[in-house]
Amino acid sequence: MVGFQHYLALSGILFGLGFYTALSKRNAIVVLMGIEVMFNAVNVAVVAIAKYLLPFSLAGSVASGGEPAYQFLLTGQVFAIFVIAVAAAEVALGLGIVLAIYRARETVDVSQFTLMKE
């Protein structure tokens, strides 16, 4: 039976893989892919939390402003949707900069971007 721990473990593994990719790969496009994986690891975590944990923690009713609790059951999913939108903006900007850097340098190898080292 797949439960909360499995989702959380999946999210942790994805996050670790993304982090490793973002910091160790030499191709700028692959670095951006690593970042994307990190964001999606977060999405897995928040949606799992919303599905498995939220109904219990809301039983004590800490809902803000005294509104009915069912609205807050969706917080995790809403969180994920915002993360997806922001990640898309991030990647669009990233690809734009990679394109500009390719025009200036004719390479996307991040290990060669050392103009400003002392």
Partner 1 sequence: MSPSELFLLSPEISVALLGGVILLLDLAVKRKGYLAAAALVGLLVPAGFSVGLLIRVGSESTGQLTGVFDTLFIDRFAIYFKFLILAATALVIAASVDYRARLGRFQGEYYGLILFSASGMMLLAAGAELITLFVALELATLPLVALAAFLRDARSTESGLKFLVLSAVSSALLLYGMAFTFGVAGSTWLRDIGQVLSGASQETGAPFGSYALMLGIALMVAGFGFKIASVPFQMWVPDVYEGSPTPVTAYLSVASKAAGFAVLLRVFYVALGSADLRVEWGTLFAVLSVLSMSVGNLVAIAQSNIKRMLAYSTVAHAGYLLVGVAAVARAGPSDSLGPSGVLFYLATYTLTNLTAFFVIIAIVNKTGSEVIEDFAGMGRRAPWLALALAISMVSLIGVPPTGGFIGKVYIFSAAVRHDLAWLALAGVINSVVSVYYYMRVVRALYVLPSASQERVPSSLPLRWALGITAIGTVFLGLLPTHLLRFAQEAARILTS
State the angle between helix axes of 28-52 and 4-24 in degrees (0 to 180), rounded to the nearest 10.
160
Check if the beta carbon of residue 61 is closer than 8 Å to that of residue 71: no
Residue 76 CB, nearest distance to partner 1 (Å)? Answer: 7
- List phi, psi (to 5°) of 17: -60, -45
In the list 70, 74, 84, 105, the residue contacting partner 1 (rule: CB under 8 A) is 105
Residue 9 CB, nearest distance to partner 1 (Å)? Answer: 14
- State both tokens at 58: 């809301």
Count of residues of this chain found to bind partner 1 when the rule CB under 8 A is applied? 50
- The secondary structure of residue 26, as a DSSP letter, is S
Nearby residues of 43 by Cβ (< 8 Å), 6 or more positions away: 80, 83, 84
In the list 10, 17, 30, 110, the residue contacting partner 1 (rule: CB under 8 A) is 110
Binding site for partner 1 (CB under 8 A): 15, 18-19, 22-23, 28, 31-32, 35, 38-39, 41-42, 45-46, 49, 53-54, 56-58, 62-65, 72, 75-76, 78-79, 82-83, 86, 89-90, 93-94, 96-98, 100-101, 103-105, 110, 113, 115-116, 118
